[in-house]
Amino acid sequence: MLVLIKFNSRIWFFLGFLGCAFLLAMGAYFQFVQGLNPCPLCISQRLAILATGIVFLCAAIHNPQQTSTTRYAIAGTITALFGASISMRHVWLQHLPPEKVPECLGIELMDMLKNFPLFDTLKLMLSGTGDCAKVDWTLFGFSMPAWTLLAFLMLATLSLLQIWNYKAPEL
């Protein structure tokens, strides 16, 4: 049974890249078509998806040997788990009682970049605000950050499995 789904790791990395591209496209759809403005944690999750997608695309283009496949798999897993940790914080904020939710910054990302040093802006983005606690969209009772968390965990698993899935390219 497993032989039927044992593709070259290059194909799996490319499928992971397509998954990341799809997630970014969905984020753009919700922002520009549905009018849902992303909070700082949403933007941080998009950056983590972008980083994971770049690792997957590089691995797919490079078509590495076993050692480099392992390196790409570890890098993809790390970026995906970093994104998962951001998603977990976001889900946690959404489940806080209203009186425990952090105050809203009321400041856009571009204003933060203009008024604060880069590291302070990154710290503010990753900490989350009251804006992050608001649930604007659900599917089957799960918010968008919960679905993003699931996607990150799937991407991390896909990446990590490539260490054992390596199959030398055929000439």
Q: What is the CATH number of the domain that holds 105?
A: 1.20.1550.10
In a domain, 3, yes or no: no
CA torsion, ordered 12, 18, 24, 27, to nearest 10 deg: -100
In a domain, 40, yes or no: yes
**Which residues of the chain fall short of a pLDDT of 70?**
1-6, 101-113, 124-130, 166-171
The total number of structural domains that make up the chain: 1
In a domain, 4, yes or no: no
Residue 4 confidence (pLDDT): 47
In a domain, 2, yes or no: no
In a domain, 69, yes or no: yes
CA distances from 35 to 24, 27, 28, 31, 139 (A): 15, 11, 10, 5, 17
In a domain, 153, yes or no: yes
- Residue 84 CB burial class (10 angstroms; 0-12, 13-18, ≥19): buried
Q: What domain range is 156 assigned to?
A: 9-165
